[in-house]
A and B are shown apart, each in its own frame.
Chain A
Amino acid sequence: MSNLLERWVPKVVLAPTFVAVLIFVYGFIGWTAWISLTKSKIMPRYEIDGFDQYTKLFATPRWDTAMNNLYLFGGLFIVISMVLGLMLAIFLDQKIRTEGVIRTIYLYPMALSMIVTGTAWKWILNPQHGIEAMVQGWGFAGFRFDWLVNPDMAIYTIVLAGVWQSSGFVMALFLAGLRSVDGEIIKAAQVDGIPNWRIYTAIIIPSMAPIFLSAFIVLSHLAIKSFDLVVALTGGGPGYATDLPATYMYAMAFSRGNLGQAASSAMIMMAVVFAIVVPYLYSELRAKHD
């Protein structure tokens, strides 16, 4: 009979986590989804009212700006980080003597809080004392670099700081990928007299498809969740020029007291994340089963 008892132990061990996940992840998503269908303002109300909140959300110019910013920021952030990361990984793969040191330097921003990153770049990009002032001080009096306070350009400062923080990590992912390629295939290609750059473009990089995918997933996930960076760097400004869905949601929830809008914007964010992540996770879990 002790045999039977033993079979229960693993389930009992897992039970608290299972319950916690059910409540704190899925239950909470359900709650947010529910609220997004009500007229909740500063206090939650539970009478279902339909999709009004979503209609209102999509009609809000500020949300429009936030979504556009997400596409612009997300797109640039992902593409630049990947290109830069891959480039640096290939550079570092050339038997560089000081590889360890260089890698450490490239990757350290990942250890920083986005608030720290934002604070640092905010100072560097500050037109009065930062890069603009520095270059003007060198004698280029007409030099302008006011992205941080220019509503049309401010979003690019977020891209800049985001890439600075994350590209080293992408480099590390790609470097690991480059080095996991079967050495015999590369030797075979070398024996066949295929030039190095062709070996990269024709053999190594195509075989790293899964790494591209996971880098993409991680970066898009970071992009959609980014909140800290915007708060620290631009505060969403000038005006609402650098608002992202995450900051919009936060503003609705905690300063505007509009729970319905906060909930519906959070649901849209989750929809965007899941549209990207679910197919990936599904294929991952399936592959593991086979």
Chain B
Amino acid sequence: MTDATYVSPLAGQRSTSARFGRIALRAGLYAMLILFALWYLMPLFVMITTSLKSLDEIRTGSLVALPREITFEPWRIAWSQACTGTQCEGLKPFMWNSVIIAIPGVLISTLIGALNGYVFAQWRFRGANMIFALLLFGCFIPFQVVLLPMAKMLGILHLAGTIPGLILVHTIYGLGFTTLFFRNYYVTIPQELVRAAKIDGAAFFRIFWSIFLPLSLPIIVVSVIWQFTQIWNDFLFGVSFSGPGTQPVTVALNNIVNSTTGVKAYNVDMASAIIAALPTLFVYVVAGKYFIRGLTAGSVKG
């Protein structure tokens, strides 16, 4: 969809009679598009400008005004001093928590998802469709329904409030989607490839390693980005299963913003929000195509 080479067949239709009307229509069209672009950009703009203003200027100036005097102090505070509850070390330690939750969570669920998808697409057996359906339903459950037993299970496993506990949770509930991505990708690869390789003497893992994995780069990127975004942006699991010191960045951000002690430092809030959003925004900007592909693949299921 992002490969914009395709041109709508309706585009460029020429109506000979109403040339002026056509131009007016195009102008209106562009005006609308720009208006909406501004609407989508406005919060980001406000966040950035606010984060660069001093508190005084925020109190006296307008919401959309550019900062008269740019200060990076709020950013510094957000990064290393802002209080999340009783702790006042800024977002830094929590960013790191999110990183070490996300990396194994992404890698493990992508690897298992790839193998699962490979089985579902190319090595079907009796009952495989049933298992796939069970997995697919799992993608849709509201996580609230597993929240209580998961808390108990993590307790049993001595993982309550730990980073490995959060990695486990994210890996398990990410498997449905990663499996779906790989399955839908591998299903487009002709079965004859596996057959040819079987006759060549290769077995299950050899075929996966030598033939399928080298083909999989695009879908690996989709899966990695999807899982990374999901885990990084997660709040529910983070707030439910983390302990003091193991919270991910979203939880820390929420704590900074909602901490009731002291003067509300809106500029620090905004700087914190941007810092928390930067990794996923960065991924979106450099690999938007794969990001969108994951979103659409994740929604148009089956």
**When A and B assemble into the complex, do they touch directly, with CB atoms less than 8 Å apart?**
yes
Residues in chain A within 8 A of chain B (CB atoms): 6-7, 9-11, 13-14, 16-18, 20-22, 24-29, 31-32, 35, 44, 88, 91-96, 99-100, 102-117, 119-124, 129-131, 133-134, 137, 164, 168-169, 172-173, 175-176, 178-179, 183, 186-187, 190, 196, 199-200, 210-211, 214-215, 217-218, 221, 224-225, 227-228, 231-232, 235, 245-246, 249-250, 253-254, 259, 262-263, 265-267, 269-270, 273-274, 277-278, 281, 284-285, 287-289
Q: Which of B69-77, B83-91, B210-218, B229-237 touches A? A: B229-237
By a CB distance below 8 angstroms, the chain A residues around B125 are: 7, 10-11
Nearest A residue to B257 via CB reads A119
Q: Which of B125-143 contact A (CB under 8 A)?
A: 125, 128-129, 131, 133-138, 140-143
Give Cα A25–Cα B137 distance, bound, in whole angstroms.
Answer: 9
By a CB distance below 8 angstroms, the chain A residues around B39 are: 164
Answer whether A168 and B40 are a contact pair too, CB < 8 Å, given A103-B2, A221-B140. yes
By a CB distance below 8 angstroms, the chain B residues around A99 are: 4
Contact B144 A116 (CB under 8 A): no
For residue B125, give the distance in angstroms from its CB to the closest CB of chain A: 6
By a CB distance below 8 angstroms, the chain A residues around B2 are: 100, 103
Q: Which of B99-107, B145-153, B158-166 touches A? A: B145-153
By a CB distance below 8 angstroms, the chain A residues around B295 are: 110, 169, 172
By a CB distance below 8 angstroms, the chain A residues around B146 are: 24-25, 28-29, 32
Contact A259 B148 (CB under 8 A): yes
Contact A137 B1 (CB under 8 A): no
Cβ-defined partner of A115 (8 Å) among B112, B123, B253, B274: B253
By a CB distance below 8 angstroms, the chain B residues around A228 are: 235-236, 250
Q: Mark B248-270, 1 if CB is under 8 A from A, else 0.
A: 00100110011000000010011
Give Cα A20–Cα B12 distance, bound, in whole angstroms.
Answer: 54
Q: B9 on the interface (CB 8 Å rule)?
A: yes
By a CB distance below 8 angstroms, the chain A residues around B296 are: 172-173, 176
Q: B277 on the interface (CB 8 Å rule)?
A: yes
Nearest A residue to B240 via CB reads A254
Give Cα A113–Cα B231 distance, bound, in whole angstroms.
Answer: 10
Contact A95 B63 (CB under 8 A): no
Q: Which of A24, A186, A259 counts the most B-chain CB atoms under 10 A from its CB?
A: A24
Contact A196 B10 (CB under 8 A): yes
Q: B81 on the interface (CB 8 Å rule)?
A: no
Q: Which of A17, A18, A31 counts the most B-chain CB atoms under 10 A from its CB?
A: A17
Nearest A residue to B151 via CB reads A253
Q: Mark B214-227, 1 if CB is under 8 A from A, else 0.
A: 00000000000000
Give Cα A137–Cα B131 distance, bound, in whole angstroms.
Answer: 61
Contact B302 A270 (CB under 8 A): no
Contact A218 B299 (CB under 8 A): yes
Answer whether A111 and B281 are a contact pair too, CB < 8 Å, given A9-B204, A120-B46, A196-B13. yes
Contact B135 A17 (CB under 8 A): yes
Contact B254 A91 (CB under 8 A): no
Give Cα A7–Cα B125 distance, bound, in whole angstroms.
Answer: 9
For residue A228, give the distance in angstroms from its CB to the closest CB of chain B: 4
By a CB distance below 8 angstroms, the chain A residues around B288 are: 104, 107
Q: B246 on the interface (CB 8 Å rule)?
A: no
Q: Which of B14-39 contact A (CB under 8 A)?
A: 26, 29-30, 32-33, 36-37, 39
For residue A269, give the distance in angstroms from its CB to the closest CB of chain B: 5
Cβ-defined partner of A130 (8 Å) among B7, B11, B63, B131: B63
Q: Which of B31-58 contact A (CB under 8 A)?
A: 32-33, 36-37, 39-44, 46-47, 50, 58
For residue A215, give the distance in angstroms from its CB to the closest CB of chain B: 7
Extra contacts besides A176-B296, A196-B10 (4): CB < 8 Å: A14-B120, A16-B112, A108-B284, A277-B137
For residue B289, give the distance in angstroms from its CB to the closest CB of chain A: 10
By a CB distance below 8 angstroms, the chain B residues around A235 are: 258
Nearest A residue to B134 via CB reads A21
By a CB distance below 8 angstroms, the chain A residues around B140 are: 221, 273-274, 277, 281
By a CB distance below 8 angstroms, the chain B residues around A225 are: 142-144
For residue B255, give the distance in angstroms from its CB to the closest CB of chain A: 10
Give Cα A108–Cα B204 distance, bound, in whole angstroms.
Answer: 40
Contact B145 A29 (CB under 8 A): yes
Give Cα A217–Cα B42 distance, bound, in whole angstroms.
Answer: 28
Contact A115 B254 (CB under 8 A): yes
Q: Which of A111, A190, A254 counts the most B-chain CB atoms under 10 A from its CB?
A: A111
For residue A37, give the distance in angstroms from its CB to the closest CB of chain B: 13
Give Cα A215–Cα B138 distance, bound, in whole angstroms.
Answer: 19
Nearest A residue to B251 via CB reads A115
